[in-house]
Chains A and B, each alone.
Chain A
Amino acid sequence: MAITRRELITNIGKAGVPVAVAMTVGPQALQAEELSAPTEPLSLLYDATLCIGCKACESACSAANNTEPDTSGDGLHQAPADLNVFTRNIIKLYKPEDGSPSSFVKRQCMQCFDPGCVAGCPFEALYKDKDDGIVHWDGGKCIGCRYCTISCPYSVPRFQWLGFNPVITKCELCSHRLAKGLKPGCTSVCPTSAVIFGKRSALLLEAKRRIKSNPGHYYQDRVYGETENGGTQALYLSRVPFEKLGLPEIGPTSGPSSTLRWQKRIYSYFALPAVLYVGLVTVIRKNLKGHEQEAHEQEKETGLRAQL
């Protein structure tokens, strides 16, 4: 007996379900979810106990990136209140009212291993370099949806609110200087070497060495960024709790990995949606046949043209 079109589609649909399920949650698919780390991640190590708050790094960052300093405050000084489209790194002061120790903190892009901004960006305008792990922004693909400003747990990417050709600004570790063999602007002017630049493995060792040689000096004897948010390339040492400095205690799982797992699985290879689609087509076709017959009868009875 010749197979009808409907039977063919139905059978494909039936066979497709196990295949689709296998493709989405089978062992191979889950394995492929592992993120590949950059081969030679570059890092900044910022030791808040060494920082004197001179803000040379703010000036140097503007100069290195050819950006006008943000003088919107009084028109005389470069005094941004926070990161913005002119300010890729900023020094903030944590000064508690009760007289307990205060600290400076240098905030810039954390260059996470599993960045929320990259995970959320629809057309890969934000992408992480495979070798040095720096997260770059490509204006040719950005649509300005500002999802990165929402998905970054550190609130780093900043959108340009004035003008008709807005950009997203964030620290990119002065990659244009790195290409010329120079160091990032901030690290090349820091007078106390509070912020230093190097390979992440080396800086992590240095941080741990400092902790070991000064037991009890650093908060919880730990380096922020070693495992936080899945690991970041900007590492922090501090005397005061990290949360007081605006570095949230997110835990070791990165945002995207814990939240988008099922999104990835359900849509992998579009398998499940495809199966659902075939199922819908089958059901609707069946209902359409019934509807058509009824409509035809009505047309005859009432003399009025049928409406779909």
Chain B
Amino acid sequence: MSTATLSNRPFAGTKPPATDNKPRWERAVPVYGVTVITPFFLALVGLAILSLFLTVYREVVGLGPASGMNDKFGWGIWKTFNVVVLTAWGSGAFAVGVVAWAFGRKRLFPLMRMALLTSMLAYACGLCLLGVDVGRPWNFYWVVLPWHWNLHSPMAEIAICMSVYASIPLFLENIPPILERLWHVNVKWQPAVERIEHALHAFFPIIVAAAYLLPAMHQSSLGALMLLAGQRVHPLWQTPFLPLLYVGAATFMSFACVAGTTMLCCLVWKRAMDMEVLDEAARISAWTIFGWLAIRNLDLLFRGSLFTAFHFTSYAGIFWTETILIAYGGWMLLQSLKTHKRQTMFVGYALSSLGGMLYRFSPTTLAYMPGPHAMYFPSTIEILIALGFASIGIAIFLIAVKLLAILPASNQEWRNMAAYYKFRKPAISRNKYLGFFDHNELSLSDKKSH
């Protein structure tokens, strides 16, 4: 196995790689030897189908009977959780991408495909559910007619920006794994695929720069939404810095999503984990978390709202829960760098993203005080639809990691995969369907082994 798997040129702030036998993530490899149809997958599909039926019910009877939303709490978990929280958790394409491509942290490149896929699915499911949530979706065409855009409105910014982002830059960024598969499947398609790949390559900076600018805009606008609610959001959350804090939360949450999901996938499908990459991600996450906590609490201090955290109210309870979760998660991440325990790192990611979710969810619902005697709790149908749409995303993820090269692994793993398909699934191989091995690379490795 070649040792010079990464460039010998030093990159920003890190030492040259050690020449040892530690596992390295060199390329993305499909998950092989595992069927798509597992009991878990079937459960997800069942939940998804149920939610589609319930969506039809919601469209027919209206939002009232199908959800727990009311006149005082106009937004339910479809907006405040699936969009505000889950798209932030799934904004890895933005956070990991900016760190890797704009700040030059090349070590994070192996995580890019996972980040892109999770983002695509989080945004797609979130936007579809947004379409279910709005009351008059047939008027959504105004999103492409600028003359009635109210540019002062955070809602307009989100609607336009998220739609444009998900349908163009994010989508285009997710095409390379599909093209790669097409290239391997059929020799005849290779010239066309290569032409498309060249085009994508040429426009890469333009697409990707948009893919970082647009999420920065709308993730912050998701925070700006609650600014208009003024005194109705509890002072522990309401601040002019809400947009900035929302972007910051999105950053460490999505790192947790990408790195944590990658760790979980490696665990489940028995892949090796490249601790250099994961350590880098954990380091960046941890410092983002602490920086974020500093900004948030200093802002509270200077605005004179911090004292409310010491009252015996449920709001103070929520504040401390999320602060402790995020801080402890960040601390665990730092600890995992010292102790090299993956368990600590994973739990650190889990806790910090849970805290981040709570933070982004609070101003819209938990810390939103529209008046006395008003309360909101999602109805059963509402919860099922939210779960269903999320499980659509997870189900597609499971299919994608098995069909496309998303999950990072070593070069050797790629060869193992090729060999698996050559020898274990010869019927498929003869159809050229999974023709990973039928081309240059295995002939090259064959030549090598001879």
A contact residues vs B (CB 8 Å cutoff): 82-84, 116, 118-125, 139-147, 149-151, 153, 155, 158-166, 246, 248, 250, 255-256, 258-260, 262-264, 267, 273, 276-277, 280-281, 283-285, 287-288, 290-291, 293-294, 297-298, 301-305, 307-308
Contact = CB atoms under 8 A, between A and B. Distances in A.
B231 interface: yes
Nearest to B411: A302
A246 B370 CA distance: 11
Contact of B180 (A140, A298, A301, A307): A307
Interface stretch (B135-143, B316-324, B348-356): B135-143
B307 to A, nearest CB: 21
**Closest CB pairs A-B (n = 5):** A144-B135, A161-B64, A303-B444, A122-B156, A280-B209
Contact of A283 (B102, B180, B206): B102
B217 interface: yes
B304 interface: no
Nearest to B213: A277
Contacts of A308: 176, 197, 200-201, 204
Q: Is the interface of B mostly helix, strand, loop or mixed?
A: helix
Interface in B395-450: 405, 411, 414, 440-441, 444-445, 448
Nearest to B408: A307
B201 A162 contact: no
Contacts of A153: 230-232
26 contacts: A82-B71, A119-B153, A142-B135, A142-B136, A143-B137, A143-B142, A147-B225, A149-B74, A150-B74, A153-B231, A153-B232, A159-B74, A161-B63, A246-B371, A258-B230, A259-B227, A263-B157, A264-B151, A267-B157, A280-B213, A283-B102, A291-B106, A293-B7, A302-B2, A308-B176, A308-B204
Interface string B208-236: 11101100110001001111111110000
Contacts of B74: 146-147, 149-150, 159
Interface stretch (B54-62, B248-256, B336-344, B383-391): B54-62
Contacts, number: 221
Given A119-B152, A140-B139, A308-B200, A273 B228 contact: no
B70 A144 contact: no
A158 B289 CA distance: 39
Contacts of A283: 101-102
Nearest to B448: A303
B201 A294 contact: no
Contacts of B176: 307-308
Contacts of A294: 6-7, 9
A161 to B, nearest CB: 3
A141 B148 contact: yes
A195 B350 CA distance: 58
A77 B64 CA distance: 23
B260 interface: no
Contact of A146 (B75, B221, B232): B75
Given A159-B74, A256-B152, A303-B445, A146 B135 contact: yes
Nearest to B109: A291
A297 B64 CA distance: 60
Contacts of A116: 228
A226 B102 CA distance: 51
B205 A150 contact: no
Interface in B1-36: 2, 4-7, 9, 26-28
Given A120-B154, A143-B137, A291-B109, A161 B62 contact: yes
Please indicate which of the listed interface residues A150, A255, A273 has the most CB atoms of chain B within 10 Å of its own CB: A150
B115 interface: no
Given A146-B75, A161-B65, A161-B70, 19 more contacts: A120-B154, A122-B150, A122-B153, A141-B148, A143-B159, A145-B134, A145-B155, A155-B370, A159-B63, A258-B230, A259-B240, A260-B224, A277-B209, A277-B210, A281-B205, A288-B205, A298-B5, A302-B2, A305-B180
A78 B130 CA distance: 35
Interface string B160-179: 00000000000000001100
Contacts of B200: 308
A281 B64 CA distance: 46
Contacts of A161: 62-65, 69-70
B101 A284 contact: yes
A308 B116 CA distance: 12
Q: Which of B61, B150, B213, B441 has the most CB of A within 10 A?
A: B150
Contacts of A151: 228-229
Contact of B153 (A121, A258, A287): A121
A145 to B, nearest CB: 5
B104 interface: yes
Contacts of A307: 27-28, 113, 176-177, 180, 405
Contacts of B75: 146, 150
Interface in B44-97: 59-65, 69-72, 74-75
Contacts of B148: 123-124, 141
B227 A273 contact: no
Nearest to A146: B74
A276 B75 CA distance: 32
B183 interface: yes
Nearest to A302: B411
Interface string B104-142: 101001000100000000000000000000111101101
B149 interface: yes
Contacts of B213: 273, 276-277, 280
